[in-house]
Structures are given as structure tokens and as C-alpha cells.
Copies of this chain bind each other. A is one copy, B any other.
Amino acid sequence: MTMAEAIARFVPDGSTVAMGCALEPLIPFAAGHELIRQGRKDLELVGPISDSLFDQLIGAGCVRRITAAWVGNVSEGLGHCYRRAAEQGVPREIEIHDHTNFSISMALWAAVWNVPYLPARTLLGSDILRTNPRIKAADGLVHIEAVRPDVTILHVQRCDAGGRAHAWGPLGISEEAGLAADRVIVSCEELVDESVTLSDPNRILLPETKVVAVVHEPGGSHPAPVQGFFKRDHALDNAYAEESRTREGFDAWAKRWIFDVPDRLRYMAMVDMDSIRITGRQLSVPANFADE
């Protein structure tokens, strides 16, 4: 399936979408850019810190609500589109449900286990209790209301056509975000045969029954890195931070990197992958799954 098709079929306007779940690597930028290209509206974005992806979606006017621990850009901190939306309602007003990294994870685990809330020991003494209506102090704990994404979008190293995804490196909240969601879209660096994925069922991130689309999208997390495939593209990070300072700057950036680019393949031709490609091999020692 192409990314355009996956986004068109499975992420309607108004969806609650979890992305950026590995915090810093494996951010599904290709999917985010496709959401912007298709002009998706009124999304609720769910995630921990999401690199600059949420900032871009806010700048493009796709977002109704942010349910996250942090929105900015990793290279310099402040998210300029986030600021404009929150401070001036530009390009539109957004609602903010502040979380911490721990609390957004617990909100997703609550959805995973289908309970209305999970109790937790964080957030006591924080004013986030005043601004997030879905977190309440109770009995010396906080009760964190379940957050259930309609769709979780994950970028991974490899996946087969049946939706069995192998991801490695730090995983952040990828597992709970996938399990909590109604459906999951996976984009991957390599589309592999099931003999690869089923050779290691412990590395399969999610049950295939959650996965509705597999998109073979090399470079799909660029400029965020993929362990074993490519490093972070700091230059692009920095350029975004700089250009997004003004609305016009963001619009020009979005035109160049999103609207004038029909798909990820064309995007990849615009970036200098040679300088960030990982060419070394540090292979995991295999595990023997034999039964005889």
C-alpha cells in the first residue's frame, strides 16, 4: 500500500492519531507529511515528544487538540508553530491536554487494558493537574484517564506484508500506543518476507490483528534516525527550526518539503542521505528458536 492510500483510507478528519511514539528515533515523518498534503483537519495528536512532527502538523492547520508531553523541535527547543497556535490561534486555535512522558504512557496502558484510568505516582504538585481535565488527584495518587488512539502510526526497521513489524533500539511508548489503538499503520525501511519476521517472534512489536496497513517507505522517519539504517539529519532539523520562526517561513518550508513533493521517494531525492547513511554492521547475536 502507498502512504497516500493508507492515510486516505485509515485516517479520516477528526481522528485521534498517535505518532512519534519512540520519542526521538523512528518518527513517522512521511506519514505526517502525507496528512498535511491531504489537508487532514481536526486531528487530536497523541504522543510523548514527537521531534518536530507535531509542530509541523500544527503549523499546517491539521490539529484540533494536542495530547502530549512536549511539542517543540529537538534542535532548539521552542516549537514556533505550537507557539503561534497556542498564543495567537494561528493558523487555528488548538486545545492542549498537557501530559508528562510517564503520564501519556499510563494513559495509553489504561486504554490497552480497557480501564477508565490508571493510578500513578507522578504529577503530584504539578500545575498540569490544573490544566489537563483528564488527570485528577485522588487518594494521594493521580488518576490518568485512558487515551485511546483511533490510529497509531509507527515507523520501523522492517515489516512483512502481514503486518509483523520488527523494531529495535529504544521504543518509548510504541508498544502501548499500538496496543491501545483501534488500528495501526506501519511504515518500514525494509519490506521483508515473513520468514524474516517469524524467525524472531519476540521482536514482533504488535499483533498483526491491529495492523491495517503496511507501507514500504524507506527514509520514512527522516530527519529522525533509524538504528542500523541512517543517522539524524541535524542540518534539516536546524533549517526547520530557523525557517519556522515566522508563519511565512513555515509556509515556505512546507511548500518546499511537503506540498511540492508528491511522495517520500521524491523527498528522499532532495536530501543528502549519503552523509547520514549507516553503512556499518553490528549484528545482534541470533537466538535459536528451534524446537527439535
Contacts and interface: CB of A to CB of B under 8 A. Distances in A.
The range of chain A's interface size is 35 or more
A51 to B, nearest CB: 18
Nearest to A102: B113
Contacts of A9: none
Interface in A193-227: 195-196, 199-200, 202-203, 227
A120 B175 CA distance: 19
A193 B280 CA distance: 22
A199 B121 contact: no
A288 interface: yes
Given A199-B284, A281-B288, A281-B290, 20 more contacts: A106-B113, A115-B141, A117-B119, A118-B119, A166-B287, A168-B202, A169-B202, A169-B289, A199-B283, A200-B285, A202-B203, A203-B284, A227-B290, A228-B289, A229-B288, A278-B290, A278-B291, A283-B286, A283-B287, A284-B286
A292 interface: yes
A150 B10 CA distance: 47
The 9 residue pairs across chains A and B that have the minimum distance between CB atoms = A228-B288, A200-B284, A280-B290, A283-B286, A282-B290, A168-B287, A284-B287, A282-B289, A284-B286
A126 interface: no
15 contacts: A113-B120, A115-B119, A116-B141, A157-B287, A157-B288, A199-B284, A203-B284, A227-B289, A231-B291, A278-B288, A279-B292, A280-B291, A281-B290, A283-B286, A283-B287
Consensus secondary structure, chain A interface: loop
A143 to B, nearest CB: 9
A109 to B, nearest CB: 8
Given A120-B113, A120-B115, A285 B202 contact: no
A114 interface: yes
A15 B284 CA distance: 37
A189 to B, nearest CB: 10
Interface of A: 106, 113-121, 141, 157, 166, 168-169, 171, 195-196, 199-200, 202-203, 227-229, 231, 278-292
A161 to B, nearest CB: 16
Contacts of A196: 285
A286 B283 CA distance: 6
A205 to B, nearest CB: 10
A289 B279 contact: no
Contacts of A114: 121
B291 A283 contact: no
Residue of A114, A120, A231, A290 with most partner-chain B CB within 10 A = A290
Nearest to A113: B120
Contacts of A289: 168-169, 227-228, 282-284
A199 B282 CA distance: 7
